[in-house]
Amino acid sequence: MTSFLRYLVIRVFYFFLTIFTAFSITYLLLRLMPVNAVENAIAQITAQGQVYDPQALITLRRQLYELFGLTGSPTDQYLRFLRSVFSLDFGPSIMAFPTPVMELIHRALPWTIGLLLFSVIISWVVGNILGILSAIREGSWVSRILQGVAVTLHPLPYYVFALALIFLFAYLIPLFPLTGSSVYIERISIDVIIGIIRNATLPALSIIIVSALGWWFLSSRTLTIRILGEDYVEYAILRGIPWRRIYRDYISRNIMMPQITALGLALGTVFSGAVITEALFAYPGLGILLFRAVSTGDFSTALGIVSLSIYGVAIGTLILDIIYPLIDPRVRHR
Amino acid sequence: MLGNMVDWVKLGSDVKGTMLSKILILILAASIFASIAYRPITVEAQLPLPQGIPRGDVLVIENHYGTHADPENFNYLVPGRPGFGASGFSQVCAGFLWYINTTNSELISWLAAGPPEYSSDLKNMKVYLRKGITWSDGTQFTADDVVHHIQMIMRTKGMAGNPIFTRWVDRVYKLDDYTVVFELKEPNPRFHYFLTVIIYGSSYQAITPKHIWEKVDDPLKFKFYPPLCLGPYILKAVDPGGNWFLWERNENWWGTRLYGMRPAPKYVLFIHHGPEDKKALAMSRHELDAIRTFLPENFEIVWKNNPYIGGWRAKSPFAWPFDPCVKGIAFNVLRYPYNVTEVRLALTHAINFKPIYEAFKGLDGSLPTVSPLPVVRTTLADELYYKPILQDLVKLGLDPDIMWWKYDPKMAESLLTRVGFTKGPDGKWRLPTGEKWVIRITAPSGFEMESQRIGFLVADQWRAFGIDVVVETVESGVFSPRWSRGEFEVGTFWPGCSLLADLTPHIQWWHSKYFDPAAPSVGWANYSFPRKTEVNSIVDEMEKTPPGDPRLYEHARKALLIWAEQRPWAGFFPTPFYTINDNYVWTNWPSYPGNYYMDPVYWWAQMLFIILQLKPAGNVPTKEASMPGKPPVLPPEIPRPLTPTPSPTTPMQPISTVTVTAMRTIVTSTPIPVTVITTAQVRELDVTTTVLIGVALLIVGIGIGYILFRFLRRS
């Protein structure tokens, strides 16, 4: 128990250290970017050719710097930033001034979680099942076909696959809408729910198919094949232990360890969204919000979203670190 | 679960009813085929519309901004808030005092009853408002709204328009419910331009309702949701994800009641489909009626798949050739060696314009409008500016055959050697200091792709001339501050735009008094050269001269000639804008020359005039769409004082004040014939494609079934 407590304390310490380091690096990177929110705002006016008094433009520039809070020394801004990441209050956004950053994130978050959470979990489940079955039937037609598909899909950028899905199922055979949020919601009803699912299907499929038949399939298949070749498995087979028990007690637990670790890390990155998927499908999630925030110089919003991602990954890792000793006796013994 | 699946796999051969599984597979394949065979090409299937709304009732326009982060915020007075013309607010909801007709620069008086009246010292501007206008909640629109709007902006620092109105307006007040007076701090004969929609429209020009905004504590934090409208539509629904905005026709609109105008579409949907490729697919499927612009590659997709498209012309060439902004190469004239006039002239004459021009010729034959001066060479501009100074331009090096600067590498060489440049043994040009001359062109990336292409084309030409050139493409977030701060040597962007015949608002920034050291940009305002004082004087004169005065054009010509001598940037042309519309659902789009009532500016506030004249095309079912009402041409209604009739017994009293005493406004209330086009809902069957796809999927389905069957048997 004492050793477990010690283990826990160390893990929690590393958790806070990771968070602090990640936030600081993020802050520095964003601040070093040559993007300026005020110039972007003024460019919106001038690039369209709008008639604007030149003297007034000079005044507007000064006013915007004050309005957006882009004043103060770098140290002041850094301390303000640290306060905000721990209080989760990032102030007003700049690109949607003065809407608070957290309001923008709350608006985009359900879309991202709804898409990515389910996509990641489904692709994990499907990929692992197919990988294990393929390993069991090593050499069969099905296994070979699945391998071929996986090896082909794995290096394929998911957005290329997404474009193919759009062309096939939103244009040629219009089973799905072209826009990612093409649902008219007057009140929640079965039709609306079906509409939301329809809207999310193509973006989800583009992620699921490539992930499931890509990384998850290949990794679980490889692990299963390796474990099937282990002495203890061979001994269990020779002893006549039923296959069900072999897979449950000897193989699956050894496969699931690394796969659950990878799942935990993948779930943590859900909060950063999937920029290209969201851009392609006009899906209003955190990814596209982050992209806009960075390109318009809205540091507050960008920091808010990245902070969520940092928290997600760090907390996911911490949880995994805590449950590992409970699952893996080797870790417990160490 | 895994264990059970393993058992199932291993014991699959014991599963009875292999015949059943064969049947199930065949049913699955047949279902796929059947669903594909019955593929309706209805055009309403994919749009976010309320139940039962047919496609024929809806006008679908591109939301060119994209996904709005906070779509329920309609307070566009917050500076930097994007999407003013993307959500539809400026086109169908907002109310403006005046618009400019883009085809002829004429002032359209809309909420204002006529043109503004200036006092003789140009320090007072009087605005008369139309009577009977109401907000969408039925409240009367009066001078109180205009006065409150201006005063609110003036007292709220940081609000859009605050710097303009605080700079110019001393006082604003009403004389009566329909007359507003602006007392200006300095004479300004074109102050009303700040309240006129010229290019795109500015948010502070849209008058706000006093009865709503006066209750607001902090106008910058107020969301104005749902917005109150003076336009013919009211907000019906907003996508919580920020991709679309649905507007519904206001059946109690003042325009209908007073002037017989009525837009035909029952709904207007502003929608973002995603990348431009998807917009092309949407338009090919008649799910998008109007778009701001396509890149030529995407235009080709639509052109090949949709025979109903139109553009600036009803038939090809489609591109709008008069986008107000001339694209080209801009030099940072505050940086060496681009601050040397001979260098700029040499670089201009080292460009062979013809291949660049040809590169922008569209597949449909669309050609760019060559504009060597910083004025788009429209027919009007040609008469006012180009033709009168053509001979002078030729003396400065213009080739009249192509209407651009002569391609003359020898002249370019002599200009460079004159100022100390040399050519090394490797054929590369060197600076007078002896180091190799490398030009860095900063070009946009991810936006304004035409400008990026110009950068690469020019770079090739300069390399052929013997200069090392590096093209750096940067995203908009980086490009904008660099451009603004003058952190570039040569850039491919446009230093200014022009639309009005009166060039004053477009070139007044050339005056050194408007130079902002924090944002020098191309630096032309602060560039020192012998005739700089002359440019400043010309601008001073133009600012004092009222619009329409012929002296303005003479002043502008002088300024343009001085510009041409110095050539701080080499504008090529406004790149052809593929502003495409789809005539499948709606027709009577403006087109040159036969129906040229407006330019195809769907993302500007002037889109209102197009919407008010569209008609249902009759190809799709409708329910509440109608034929449009009367054209949006409103009569001037400026009140005139009655002439007093002398009485034989009572001496006539002299009139000391001019007041509104009588006004006859003729309003015709004519019932609008509503033509409801009823067509049966036709589900078209694209037989050939459907059958082919169905057969292919059937084969694939049977194949998958067979493989699975074999797999199970082996197990």
CB pairs < 8 Å spanning A and B: 280
Residue among A112, A115, A128, A182 with most chain B CBs within 10 A, to mutate: A182
Q: How many CA atoms lie within 13 A of A305 on its CB side?
A: 29
Q: Which residues of chain A have pLDDT under 70?
A: 1, 47-51, 71, 180-181, 273, 327-328, 331-334
Distance of CA B425 to the CA centre of its chain: 50
> Which amino acid is residue B594, in one-letter code?
G
Q: Are strands B98-100 and B196-197 parallel, antiparallel or unpaired?
A: parallel
Which among A42, A176, A184 is the nearest to B484, CB-wise? A42
Distance of CA B272 to the CA centre of its chain: 15
Distance CA B630, CA B211 (A): 31
Domain ranges for chain B, please list them: 2-40+687-714, 55-320+578-616, 327-573
Instruction: Determine, for residues B476 and A252 on separate chains, whether the beta-carbon distance falls below 8 Å.
Output: no
Instruction: Determine, for residues A142 and B707 on separate chains, whether the beta-carbon distance falls below 8 Å.
Output: yes
Asked if domains B55-320+578-616 and B327-573 share a fold, the reply is: no
Nearest to B447 by CA among A280, A34, A47: A47
Set of chain B residues whose Cβ sits within 8 Å of the Cβ of A61: 516, 518-519
Instruction: Determine, for residues A181 and B5 on separate chains, whether the beta-carbon distance falls below 8 Å.
Output: no
Distance CA B236, CA B229 (A): 12
Residues in chain B: 715
Which residue in A has a C-alpha nearest to residue B221's C-alpha?
A98
Asked if A64 reaches chain B (Cβ–Cβ under 8 Å), the answer is: yes
Structural contact between residues B262 and B256, judged by C-beta atoms closer than 8 angstroms: yes
Which among B48, B481, B508 is the nearest to A36, CB-wise? B481
Distance CA B75, CA B225 (A): 8
Question: How close, in Å, is residue A314 to chain B by CA atoms?
Answer: 27
| Class in CATH terms, B55-320+578-616 | alpha beta
Distance of CA B621 to the CA centre of its chain: 30
pLDDT at B18: 52
Backbone angles phi, psi at B157, to 5 degrees: -65, 140
Distance CA B282, CA A174 (A): 11
**What CA–CA distances, in Å, run from B172 to A64, B126, B149, B623?**
25, 10, 10, 46
Structural contact between residues A221 and A132, judged by C-beta atoms closer than 8 angstroms: yes
Could you say which residues from 76 to 135 on chain A have a Cβ atom under 8 Å away from some Cβ of chain B? 93-99, 103-104, 107-108, 111, 129, 132-133
Asked if B514 reaches chain A (Cβ–Cβ under 8 Å), the answer is: yes
**What CA–CA distances, in Å, run from B218 to A99, A101, B329, B504?**
13, 19, 44, 35
Structural contact between residues B227 and B93, judged by C-beta atoms closer than 8 angstroms: yes
Across the 715 residues of chain B, what is the mean pLDDT of every consecutive 10-residue run?
Answer: 47 44 58 50 63 92 93 90 89 97 92 96 96 97 98 93 94 97 96 93 94 95 96 95 95 96 97 92 94 92 95 95 93 96 97 94 93 93 96 96 96 97 95 96 89 95 97 90 92 87 92 91 94 97 92 96 96 92 97 95 96 96 92 87 44 30 28 30 46 75 74 56
pLDDT at B668: 31
Beta bridge partners of B7: none
Question: How close, in Å, is residue B271 to chain A by CA atoms?
Answer: 8
Structural contact between residues A284 and A180, judged by C-beta atoms closer than 8 angstroms: yes
Beta bridge partners of B490: B331, B441
Set of chain B residues whose Cβ sits within 8 Å of the Cβ of A110: none
Predicted ipTM? 0.86
Distance CA A63, CA A56 (A): 10
pLDDT at B648: 39
Which among A61, A98, A288 is the nearest to B78, CB-wise? A98
- Helices A37-47, B476-485: crossing angle, 10 deg rounding: 80
Instruction: Determine, for residues B7 and A244 on separate chains, whether the beta-carbon distance falls below 8 Å.
Output: yes
Instruction: Determine, for residues A248 and B2 on separate chains, whether the beta-carbon distance falls below 8 Å.
Output: yes
CATH topology of domain B327-573: Dipeptide-binding Protein; domain 3 (3.10.105)
- Helices A118-136, A252-268: crossing angle, 10 deg rounding: 160
pLDDT at B177: 96
Instruction: Determine, for residues B67 and A244 on separate chains, whether the beta-carbon distance falls below 8 Å.
Output: no
Nearest to B205 by CA among A60, A95, A57, A51: A51
Asked if B49 reaches chain A (Cβ–Cβ under 8 Å), the answer is: yes
Which among A137, A178, A295 is the nearest to B278, CB-wise? A178
Asked if B697 reaches chain A (Cβ–Cβ under 8 Å), the answer is: no
Distance CA B32, CA B420 (A): 76
Residues in chain A: 334
Asked if B244 reaches chain A (Cβ–Cβ under 8 Å), the answer is: yes
Distance of CA B347 to the CA centre of its chain: 32
List the structure tokens of B648. 């034989």
Strands (E), B106-205: 107-109, 117-118, 124-128, 169-176, 179-184, 196-197
Instruction: Determine, for residues B484 and A39 on separate chains, whether the beta-carbon distance falls below 8 Å.
Output: yes
Structural contact between residues B464 and B343, judged by C-beta atoms closer than 8 angstroms: no
* Local structure of B183: helix, strand or coil: strand
What sign for the dihedral angle of Cα A313, A319, A325, A327? Answer: negative
Q: What is the DSSP string of A146-189?
A: HHHHHHHHTTS-HHHHHHHHHIIIIIIS-SS-SSTT----SS--
Provide the b/e sequence for A98-123 (b: ≥16 CB within 10 Å). Answer: bbbbbbbbebbbebbebbbeebbebb
pLDDT at B651: 38
Asked if B688 reaches chain A (Cβ–Cβ under 8 Å), the answer is: no
Distance CA B365, CA B373 (A): 24
